[in-house]
């Protein structure tokens, strides 16, 4: 499937769920790994805010791309953010969605004019 680069420089992205291992198989607890590097994958939850609209999304990040100093509710940067449409059949029902992946998740600053004031 096609991968679509997400231009996020004008967006505010806030961390809503701390990084946790991405589970490949819920029955066995197997952790998902990158198909190329074999590195363990993590998932984070963020709220993506742009032009007055917001979306809650889950983003997959390689374990080595998770920076120290991440705090819930704080702004983050997602370099190399891409979206990939997917579809599958589960229990005879067609399912589809968008999977998001980033090279890393790092602390960021609120854009000018946003954030807490003293």
Count other C-beta atoms under 10 Å from residue 49's C-beta. Answer: 17
Whole-number Å distance between alpha carbons of 1 and 36: 16
- What pTM, to 2 d.p., does this model score? 0.86
At 16 the pLDDT is 98
**C-alpha dist (Å) from residue 28 to 32, 37, 65, 89, 93:** 11, 22, 25, 21, 23
Which three-class secondary structure string do you get for the chain?
A: CCCEECCCCCCEEEEEEEEEECEEECCCCEECECCCCCCEEEEEEEEEEECCEEEEEEEEEEHHHECCCCCCCCEEECCCCEEEEEEEEECCEEEEEEEEECCCEEECCCCCCCCCCC
At 102 the pLDDT is 97
Do 4 and 82 touch, CB atoms closer than 8 A? yes
Q: In CATH, which of 2.60.120, 2.60.40, 3.30.460, 2.40.50 is domain 4-107?
A: 2.40.50
At 118 the pLDDT is 45
- Backbone phi, then psi, for 70, in 5-degree steps? -80, 135
Q: In order along the chain (118 residues), what is the average pLDDT of each group of 10 residues? A: 89 96 91 93 97 96 95 96 93 93 93 55
At 2 the pLDDT is 85
Domain residue ranges in the chain: 4-107
């Amino acid at each position: 499937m096609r991968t679509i680069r997400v231009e996020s420089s004008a967006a505010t992205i806030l961390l809503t769920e701390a990084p946790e291992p991405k589970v490949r198989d819920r029955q066995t607890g197997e952790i998902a790994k990158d198909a190329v590097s074999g590195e363990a994958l993590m998932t984070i939850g963020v709220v993506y805010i742009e032009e007055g609209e917001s979306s809650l999304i889950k983003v997959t990040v390689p374990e080595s791309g998770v920076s120290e100093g991440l705090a819930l509710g704080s702004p983050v940067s997602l370099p190399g953010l891409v979206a990939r449409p997917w579809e599958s059949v589960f229990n005879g029902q067609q399912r589809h969605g968008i999977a998001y992946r980033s090279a890393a998740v790092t602390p960021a600053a609120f854009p000018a004019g946003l954030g807490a004031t003293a």
